[in-house]
Chains A and B, each alone.
Chain A
Amino acid sequence: MSKVIITEKLTKKFDDFTAVDAISFEVEQGEIFGFLGANGAGKTTAMRILSGLSYPTSGKAEVAGFDVYNQVEDIKRNIGYMSQKFSLYENLTVRENIHFFGGIYGLGRKELKQASEELISRLHLGPEANKLVKSLPLGWKQKIAFSVAILHRPKIVFLDEPTGGVDPITRRQFWELIYEATSQGITAFVTTHYMDEAEYCDRVSIMVDGAIAALDTPAALKSQFNASSMDAVFLQLARAAKRS
């Protein structure tokens, strides 16, 4: 097992506000890594640094073996990203979105065709593939967005609250897709507010006030905090937060 994300005292300050406070952790290849925390705890900021959207103020971080300070272009080629803000083009069809995003990640004509047929059949899209994205239900859009984010077979896929606003069944289906991807060696780095989803993760870190307050498997965390569910673990930790 190799490590695909390594951070050491990674810090991000906005003026005198420390959004991310010297966090250190490692993520193994093929792992589902849950990145939890209350709103404003610094999850999104940390994720933006790791995906090359933001510079850290200090500390070290390597993503897919590349340095976040000066090898951002290499990082970008090796990661996928799906944010809570919806990220497909609504006025393009599913096929056109696949074609565009696959294209800018450097997939060749044959690969593009093959990858898009695969995606369409895996999600059972059929004729819906030729419809505009905006006409599809949210759950479908999220599944398609995820599939498009891993179209170029990245080493790591960053998922920022990917299942916001959909029903439990659709969320479950979405997680099936994540399992499928990680079984093929893709690492999933997920932020979420749903504690049942935290149970699906291999390991979970919980951020409080910019720092990592706990990091372990869900089972170990539950026994450590003497709690019956991740929900209880999270509440114990998040209650201690000074900023919210």
Chain B
Amino acid sequence: MRNIKFLLQKEFRQIFRNTAILRLILAMPIIQLILIPLAADYEVKNINIAVVDNDHSGYSRRLTEKMKASGYFKLTDYSESYRKAEAAIGRSETDIILTIPRGFERDLIREQNTELQLAADAVNGIKAGLGAVYAQQIIVSFNQEIRAEWTNGLSLKQKVPVTISSALWYNAEVNYYLFMVPGILVILVTMVGSFLAALNIVSEKEIGTMEQINVSPLKKHEFILGKLIPFWVLGMTSITIGMFVAYLIYGILPIGSFLVIYTYAALYLLAVLGIGLLVSTFADNQQQATLFAFFMMMIFILMSGLYTPVDSMPEWAQWVARFNPPAYFIRLIRAVYIKGSGFEDLGPEFLITAAFAVVFNALAIFNYNKRG
């Protein structure tokens, strides 16, 4: 125990003296929480649309105006030539082409039936897909508008025999921040817990102090605890700062209890610290550790359900996600923040994370050799 006291004293002195790390821990949550939710908004705006108007009628101009007024589209081109619009797609100046056929107004009035063509540049699939959907919605509503004008609103109800009423639970206004911000917190804690710790240990290898520790009578478990405890404290600090910042900037507070989040975070940090420790036993220098951390962070983030739901991934990817610790924390923290879930709802997350903690730390201790 006395040795651990000396180790902790030394480690905290070094951490508080390393202003770069302190700033990182303070600034990272603030910057990430401000930037990422804004950038990672699923709503697509500023879709560039080119309208090829072969009709030049009142109706065709009205439809174009309606597109512009929706707020989703920017009219980049309004011409008669489809070829010209197509060339603009090639230059990536336009995302979507709406072609209005000759005789649009006439056919609409006479036959109550006409066809419009939408062509989308699917290089950016999300923009193309969502853009096409928005355009269709606008056309449908345009359609209903003119029908209503002709029939003075009488036949509208007959035309729509089935209506779907949807209700969104828990996050009724689909507050995007409520969804993203807790997830980003998880990624933050993961970085502090795993890679900051790994880099710290690997740097001792590089400088040579690790060898000095290895020839000393310090026990393996003492050294490991001396590293785990400070970074555990740092991790808990960073999630506290993060939740505070989330409240300050977005006014987000969990509906459930902080106790659930902290209890889980305490356990989760043990698991990710185990990963960090394991990385440090493999890596010989900070470059290796950093590259590995970069690769792992990509998997951590993309396979965690932070952006895209795990349930919509292919079967094999869902299996990978099952071994991805952040996936559990993200599910848990969202449940606590949005639904107010408590301990009784989150048994599996706690159990699996505890298993991660045991396995990763056992592997790390097994791999950490004071002697070659």
Contact = CB atoms under 8 A, between A and B. Distances in A.
Interface string B109-134: 00000000000000000000000000
B209 A103 contact: no
A40 interface: no
Interface string A42-57: 0000001001111100
B372 A86 contact: no
B215 A86 contact: no
Nearest to B14: A91
Contacts of B211: 53, 81, 83, 85, 87
Contacts of B209: 87-89
A105 interface: yes
Contacts of A99: 6, 9
Contacts of A87: 208-209, 211-212
Interface in A104-149: 104-106, 132
Contacts of B2: 103, 106
A96 interface: yes
Chain B at the A interface: mostly helix, strand, loop or mixed?
helix
B6 A53 contact: no
A80 B212 CA distance: 9
Contacts of A176: none
A237 interface: no
A100 B371 contact: no
A76 interface: yes
Given A85-B208, A86-B207, A100 B10 contact: yes
Interface string B8-29: 0110011001100000000000
A85 B207 contact: yes
Given A86-B207, A86-B208, A87-B211, A92 B13 contact: yes
A174 to B, nearest CB: 18
Interface in B203-252: 207-209, 211-218
Nearest to A81: B215
Contacts of A76: 215-217
Contact of B371 (A54, A89, A105): A54
B14 A104 contact: no
A100 B9 contact: yes
B214 A104 contact: no
Interface residues of B, number: 25
Given A53-B372, A77-B217, A103-B3, A92 B208 contact: no
Given A77-B217, A85-B207, A90-B207, A96 B13 contact: yes
B47 to A, nearest CB: 53
B196 interface: no
A83 B217 contact: no
A216 B277 CA distance: 46
A96 B10 contact: yes
Nearest to A112: B6
Interface string A147-168: 0000000000010000000000
Nearest to A14: B372
B6 A104 contact: yes
Interface of A: 48, 51-55, 72-73, 76-77, 79, 81, 83, 85-92, 96, 99-101, 103-106, 132, 158
27 contacts: A48-B372, A52-B215, A53-B211, A53-B215, A53-B370, A54-B372, A55-B371, A55-B372, A76-B215, A81-B211, A81-B212, A83-B208, A85-B207, A85-B208, A86-B208, A87-B211, A87-B212, A89-B14, A91-B18, A92-B14, A92-B17, A99-B6, A99-B9, A100-B10, A103-B3, A104-B218, A105-B216
Interface of B: 2-3, 5-7, 9-10, 13-14, 17-18, 207-209, 211-218, 370-372
